[in-house]
């Protein structure tokens, strides 16, 4: 009760470590209809690109044993609409940290979108989603190559003075190499993980379930991979790590923090349970008491 759950992330104070993950919480305002947003530490907004995008054809969603696949494909109204409409509207209802999640298909595009976000005073942190294919580099995602990831980080750091979190793709051989490349390129923090690349087939129609064939796998089934990557990267880097992937409960938040996370994003669980984040925040003090945790800051990377 009345426990201090606050953490500091790249100089930004969060009243608690719980942040709905990008793409699983719209532009924040939707959920204001069903809970008080100020219960959240921060909000990561839906992935935004320089120009508006319609996203992929439907079906964009598939079920699987450990969670779900999505191929939403970055449907978004473009960074200008984000900065002019979405963020100011959210700020009226939310006093916590607003995280703009930025995507792109070239370094210049990332930089231009971040420059636009930089001009918006209500954005506290920028989160670079480097899982997008690099159109100029043969279509492999920026986040799968240390050099590409570093280059885009550097380009963005020049375009903004806001703290930049780089959100890494787990679909890589050596997550530590990529994390270190981003750190060296000036990233202020890292977010791990984005979705695993997966696929499901409808055995009745003999077609992929997703119109896009493959999609991003998220949910409880990715949790052990996320914990492992958070642990590996938090040990290898000095900048803070935000844990993400399969978190469903206060216990999961604590496990992520013990692995090395300074804050924790909750993704797919928001789809299953619209009250997921406030429920997790409410559970935290009790779970901390049970585990003898006085202050969340004490357990970051304790394992």
Partner 1 sequence: MKQGWFTICENARLARDTFRMVLEGDCSAVGGSGQFVQVSVPGLYLRRPFSVSDRDGDRLVLVYKCVGQGTAALVAMQPGEKLDLVTGLGQGFHVSAAGKRSLLVGGSVGTAPLLLLARELQAAGKAFDVALGFGDIGLAFYVNEFKALGAQVKVATQDGSLGREGLVTDAIRALDGTYDYYYCCGSKPMMRAVCAALPFDGECSMEERMGCGTGICYGCSIPTRSGMRRVCADGPVFRKEELLWEKI
Ligand X SMILES: Cc1cc2nc3c(=O)[nH]c(=O)nc-3n(C[C@H](O)[C@H](O)[C@H](O)COP(=O)(O)OP(=O)(O)OC[C@H]3O[C@@H](n4cnc5c(N)ncnc54)[C@H](O)[C@@H]3O)c2cc1C
Ligand Y SMILES: Cc1cc2nc3c(=O)[nH]c(=O)nc-3n(C[C@H](O)[C@H](O)[C@H](O)COP(=O)(O)O)c2cc1C
Catalytic machinery residues: 132
Q: Is 206 in the site for its own copies (CB under 8 A)?
A: yes
225 binds, among ligand X, partner 1, its own copies, none (CB under 5 to 8 A by kind): its own copies
Compute the C-alpha angle 298/302/303, nearest 5°.
Answer: 155
Are 265 and 44 contacting, i.e. CB atoms less than 8 angstroms apart?
A: yes
Q: Is 236 in the site for its own copies (CB under 8 A)?
A: no
The half-sphere exposure of 237 on its side-chain side, counting CA atoms within 13 A, is: 32
| Footprint of partner 1 on 42-61 (CB under 8 A) | 46, 54-55, 58-61
Q: Measured from the CB of residue 267, what is the shortest distance to ligand X in angstroms?
A: 19
DSSP β-bridge partners for residue 48? 102
**Residue 53's Cα: distance from chain center in Å?**
19
E strands, the chain, in order: 7-9, 12-14, 18-20, 42-44, 61-64, 67-70, 97-102, 125-129, 164-167, 189-192, 196-199, 201-202, 207-208, 214-218, 241-244, 261-266
- Identify the residue among 30, 36, 63, 85 touching ligand X (CB under 6 A): 63
Measured distance CA(260)–CA(30) in Å, rounded: 31
Q: Is 64 in the site for partner 1 (CB under 8 A)?
A: yes
Q: Is 94 in the site for its own copies (CB under 8 A)?
A: no
Grouping H, G, I as helix, E, B as strand and the rest as coil, residue 266 is: strand
- Identify the residue among 15, 157, 162, 167 touching ligand Y (CB under 6 A): 167
What binding mask, one character per residue, do residues 163-202 give for ligand X by CB under 6 A, x or -? ---------------------------------------x
Nearest partner of 230 among 248, 243, 212, 240, judged by Cα: 243
Which residue, 43 or 112, is less far from ligand Y as judged by CB?
Answer: 43
Which residue, 62 or 114, is less far from its own copies as judged by CB?
Answer: 62
295 binds, among ligand X, its own copies, partner 1, none (CB under 5 to 8 A by kind): none
31 binds, among partner 1, its own copies, ligand X, none (CB under 5 to 8 A by kind): partner 1
Q: Which strands, in side-by-side order, build the sheet including 97-102?
A: 18-20, 261-266, 241-244, 189-192, 164-167, 125-129, 97-102, 42-44
85 binds, among ligand Y, partner 1, ligand X, none (CB under 5 to 8 A by kind): none
- Identify the residue among 9, 12, 19, 23 touching ligand Y (CB under 6 A): 23
Which are the contacts of 166, defined by CB distance < 8 A and separation ≥ 6? 127, 128, 130, 143, 149, 153, 182, 187, 189, 190, 191
Q: Measured from the CB of residue 72, what is the shortest distance to partner 1 in angstroms?
A: 5
Q: Measured from the CB of residue 204, what is the shortest distance to partner 1 in angstroms?
A: 9
Grouping H, G, I as helix, E, B as strand and the rest as coil, residue 236 is: helix
What does the binding site for its own copies look like in residue numbers (CB under 8 A)? 64-67, 69, 140, 144-145, 171-174, 196-201, 203-204, 206-208, 214, 217, 220-225, 227-228, 231, 246, 248, 251, 254-255, 258-259, 291, 299, 302-303
What does the binding site for ligand Y look like in residue numbers (CB under 6 A)? 21-24, 46-47, 70, 72, 74, 101, 129, 167, 194-195, 216, 218-219, 222, 244-247, 266-269
């Amino acid at each position: 009760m009345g426990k201090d759950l606050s953490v500091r992330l790249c100089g930004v104070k969060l009243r608690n470590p719980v942040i709905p993950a990008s793409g699983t919480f719209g532009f924040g305002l939707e959920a204001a209809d069903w809970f008080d947003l100020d219960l959240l530490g921060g909000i990561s907004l839906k992935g935004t690109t320089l120009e508006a995008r319609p996203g992929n054809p439907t079906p964009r969603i598939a079920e699987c044993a450990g969670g779900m696949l999505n191929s939403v494909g970055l449907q978004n109204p473009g960074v200008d609409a984000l900065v002019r409409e979405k963020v100011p509207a959210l700020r009226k209802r939310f006093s916590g940290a607003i995280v703009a999640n930025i995507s792109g298909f070239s370094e210049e595009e990332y930089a231009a979108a971040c420059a636009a976000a930089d001009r918006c005073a209500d954005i506290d942190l920028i989160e670079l989603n480097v899982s997008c294919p690099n159109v100029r580099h043969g279509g492999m995602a920026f986040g799968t190559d240390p050099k590409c990831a570093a280059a885009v980080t550097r380009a963005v750091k020049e375009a903004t003075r806001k703290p930049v979190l780089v959100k890494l793709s787990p679909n890589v051989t050596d997550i530590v190499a990529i994390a270190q490349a981003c750190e060296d390129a000036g990233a202020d923090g890292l977010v791990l993980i984005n979705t695993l690349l997966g696929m499901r087939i409808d055995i009745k129609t003999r077609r992929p379930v997703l119109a896009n064939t493959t999609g991003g796998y998220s949910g409880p089934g990715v949790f052990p991979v996320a914990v492992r990557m958070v642990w590996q990267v938090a040990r290898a880097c000095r900048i803070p790590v935000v844990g993400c992937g399969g978190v469903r409960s206060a216990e999961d938040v604590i496990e992520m923090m013990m692995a090395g996370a300074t804050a924790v994003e909750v993704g797919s669980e928001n789809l299953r349970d619209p009250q997921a984040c406030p429920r997790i925040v409410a559970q935290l003090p009790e779970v901390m008491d049970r585990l003898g945790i006085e202050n969340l800051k004490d357990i970051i990377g304790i394992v």
